[in-house]
Structure 1
Amino acid sequence: MRWTFPSSVDSQTVSELAQTLNVEPLVAQLLVQRGITTFDDARKFFRPTLNDLHDPYLMKDMDKAVARIEQAITANENILVFGDYDVDGTTSVSLVSTYLRTHHPNVATYIPDRYKEGYGVSYQGIDYAHDNDCTLIIALDCGIKSLDHVDYAKKKGIDFIICDHHRPGDELPDAVAVLDPKRSDCEYPYDELCGCGVGFKLVQALGKNRGETIEDLLQYLDLVATAIAADIVPMTGENRILAKFGLDVINSNPRPGIKTLVQQSKKSRFDITDVVFIIAPRINAAGRIRHGHHAVDLLTESDLDLAETYASEIEKYNADRKTLDKRITLEALSQIEDNNETERSTTVVFQDDWHKGVIGIVASRLIETYYRPTLVFTKSEGKLAASARSVPGFDVYNALEACAEHLEQFGGHMYAAGLTLKEENYLMFKEAFEKVVSETLHPDLKTPEINIDAEIEFDDITPKFFRILKQFEPFGPQNMTPVFLTRDLFDTGFAKPIGEESKHLKLFVRQGDSGGIGAVGFGLGHKFPMVQNQKRFDAVYCIDENEWNGKVSQQLRVKDIKKTDDVG
Structure 2
Amino acid sequence: MKQEKWRVQGKKADFERIGKEFGISPIVARLIRNRDLTEAEEIRQYLNGGLDDLNDPMLLPDMEAAAGLLEEKIASGKAIRIIGDYDIDGVCSIYILYRGLKELGARADWRIPHRVQDGYGLNVRLVEEAAADQIDTLLTCDNGIAAIEQIARARELGMAVVVTDHHEVQAELPAADAVVNPKRADNQYPFPGICGAVVAWKLVTVLFARRGMEEKAKDYLEFAALATVGDVMSLQGENRIIVREGLKKLRCTANPGLRALMDCSGILPENLSAYHLGFVIGPCLNAGGRLDTAKRAVEVLLAGEEEAPVLARGLRELNEERKDMTLRGLEQAVGIIEQSSLLRDPVLVVFLPDCHESLAGIIAGRLRERYSRPAFVLTRTEEGLKGSGRSIPAYHMFEGLNRCRELLTKFGGHPMAAGLSLKEENLEELRKRLNQECGLGEEDLVPTVWIDMELPFLYATEELTEQCRLLEPFGNGNEKPVFAARNVQVNRMSRIGKSRNMLKLSLSDASGAELEGLFFGDGDAFCAYYGEKFGGEEVEKAFRGDRNSLRLMVAYYPDINCYQGRRRIQIVIQRYL
- TM-score, normalised via structure 2 length: 0.92
Tell me the secondary structure at the aligned position of residue 115 of structure 2: coil
Show the counterpart of 2:554.
Answer: 539
**Comparing 550-559 with 351-360, which one deviates more in the overlay?**
550-559
Deviation at 1:451, TM superposition (A): 0.9
Show the counterpart of 1:263.
Answer: 263
Show the counterpart of 1:427.
Answer: 428
Show the counterpart of 1:378.
Answer: 379
Deviation at 1:135, TM superposition (A): 1.0
Contact 2:197 2:227 in 1 (8 A): yes
Show the counterpart of 1:250.
Answer: 250
**Comparing 490-499 with 95-104, which one deviates more in the overlay?**
490-499
Show the counterpart of 1:318.
Answer: 319
Deviation at 1:558, TM superposition (A): 1.6
Show the counterpart of 1:307.
Answer: 308
Distance 1:24 1:427 in 2: 55
**In the comparison of the two structures, how many residue pairs are matched?**
556
**Cα-to-partner distance string for 1:246-305 (whole Å, 9 max, x where unaligned):** 11111122511111111123233111111111011100100000001111111122x122
Contact 2:80 2:106 in 1 (8 A): no
Tell me the amino acid that sits aligned with residue 224 of structure 1.
Answer: A
Show the counterpart of 1:225.
Answer: 225
1:338-357 to 2 correspondences below 5 Å:
338-357=339-358
Tell me the secondary structure at the aligned position of residue 233 of structure 1: coil
Show the counterpart of 1:84.
Answer: 85
Show the counterpart of 1:288.
Answer: 290
Show the counterpart of 2:533.
Answer: none
Show the counterpart of 1:102.
Answer: 103
Tell me the amino acid that sits aligned with residue 445 of structure 2.
Answer: K
Show the counterpart of 1:189.
Answer: 190
Report the CA distance shift for 1:227/1:553 in structure 2 as closer, same or farther (over 3 A). Answer: farther
1:207-222 to 2 correspondences below 5 Å:
207-213=208-214, 215-222=215-222
Distance 1:370 1:499 in 2: 28
Distance 1:550 1:58 in 2: 51
Show the counterpart of 1:273.
Answer: 275
Distance 1:59 1:137 in 2: 19
Distance 2:424 2:266 in 1: 46
**Comparing 329-338 with 394-403, which one deviates more in the overlay?**
329-338
Distance 1:326 1:388 in 2: 17
Distance 1:4 1:536 in 2: 17
**Cα-to-partner distance string for 1:153-192 (whole Å, 9 max, x where unaligned):** 0011111111111111231111111111111111011111
Show the counterpart of 1:43.
Answer: 44
**Cα-to-partner distance string for 1:123-145 (whole Å, 9 max, x where unaligned):** 12112211221111111111111
Deviation at 1:107, TM superposition (A): 1.1
Partner residue of 2:300 out of 298, 301, 306: 298
Report the CA distance shift for 1:111/1:229 in structure 2 as closer, same or farther (over 3 A). Answer: same
Tell me the secondary structure at the aligned position of residue 369 of structure 1: helix
Tell me the amino acid that sits aligned with residue 482 of structure 1.
Answer: P
Distance 1:317 1:3 in 2: 38
Distance 2:567 2:229 in 1: 23
Report the CA distance shift for 1:489/1:341 in structure 2 as closer, same or farther (over 3 A). Answer: same
Distance 2:382 2:179 in 1: 30
Deviation at 1:524, TM superposition (A): 4.8
Distance 2:336 2:58 in 1: 52
Deviation at 1:521, TM superposition (A): 3.9
Contact 2:506 2:514 in 1 (8 A): no
Please give the root-mean-square deviation of Cα atoms over the aligned residues, in Å.
2.2
Show the counterpart of 2:463.
Answer: 464
- TM-score, normalised via structure 1 length: 0.93
Report the CA distance shift for 1:544/1:443 in structure 2 as closer, same or farther (over 3 A). Answer: farther
Tell me the secondary structure at the aligned position of residue 492 of structure 1: strand
Deviation at 1:551, TM superposition (A): 10
Contact 1:82 1:93 in 2 (8 A): yes
Deviation at 1:328, TM superposition (A): 1.2
Deviation at 1:385, TM superposition (A): 0.3
Distance 1:476 1:182 in 2: 22
Distance 2:449 2:28 in 1: 20
Report the CA distance shift for 1:344/1:498 in structure 2 as closer, same or farther (over 3 A). Answer: farther
Contact 1:375 1:388 in 2 (8 A): yes
Distance 1:174 1:139 in 2: 13
Show the counterpart of 1:566.
Answer: none
Tell me the secondary structure at the aligned position of residue 182 of structure 2: coil
Show the counterpart of 1:565.
Answer: none
Report the CA distance shift for 1:506/1:403 in structure 2 as closer, same or farther (over 3 A). Answer: farther
Tell me the secondary structure at the aligned position of residue 495 of structure 1: strand
Deviation at 1:43, TM superposition (A): 2.2
Deviation at 1:404, TM superposition (A): 1.1
User: Share of identical aligned residues, percent?
Assistant: 29
Tell me the amino acid that sits aligned with residue 510 of structure 1.
Answer: S
Unaligned runs of 5+ in 2: 531-537, 543-547
Tell me the amino acid that sits aligned with residue 197 of structure 2.
Answer: C
Contact 1:505 1:525 in 2 (8 A): no
Deviation at 1:548, TM superposition (A): 8.9
Deviation at 1:10, TM superposition (A): 2.4
Distance 1:545 1:25 in 2: 20
Show the counterpart of 1:507.
Answer: 505
Tell me the amino acid that sits aligned with residue 276 of structure 1.
Answer: G
Report the CA distance shift for 1:7/1:527 in structure 2 as closer, same or farther (over 3 A). Answer: closer
Show the counterpart of 2:492.
Answer: 493
Contact 1:497 1:528 in 2 (8 A): no
Report the CA distance shift for 1:7/1:368 in structure 2 as closer, same or farther (over 3 A). Answer: closer
Tell me the amino acid that sits aligned with residue 108 of structure 1.
Answer: D
Contact 2:285 2:297 in 1 (8 A): yes
Distance 1:551 1:243 in 2: 31
Report the CA distance shift for 1:206/1:245 in structure 2 as closer, same or farther (over 3 A). Answer: same
Deviation at 1:555, TM superposition (A): 4.0
Distance 1:277 1:16 in 2: 38
Show the counterpart of 1:516.
Answer: 515
Tell me the secondary structure at the aligned position of residue 305 of structure 1: coil
Contact 2:465 2:559 in 1 (8 A): no
Distance 1:296 1:130 in 2: 23
Report the CA distance shift for 1:337/1:514 in structure 2 as closer, same or farther (over 3 A). Answer: closer
Report the CA distance shift for 1:335/1:208 in structure 2 as closer, same or farther (over 3 A). Answer: same
Unaligned runs of 5+ in 1: 563-568
Deviation at 1:368, TM superposition (A): 3.1
Contact 2:84 2:113 in 1 (8 A): yes
Distance 1:217 1:36 in 2: 29
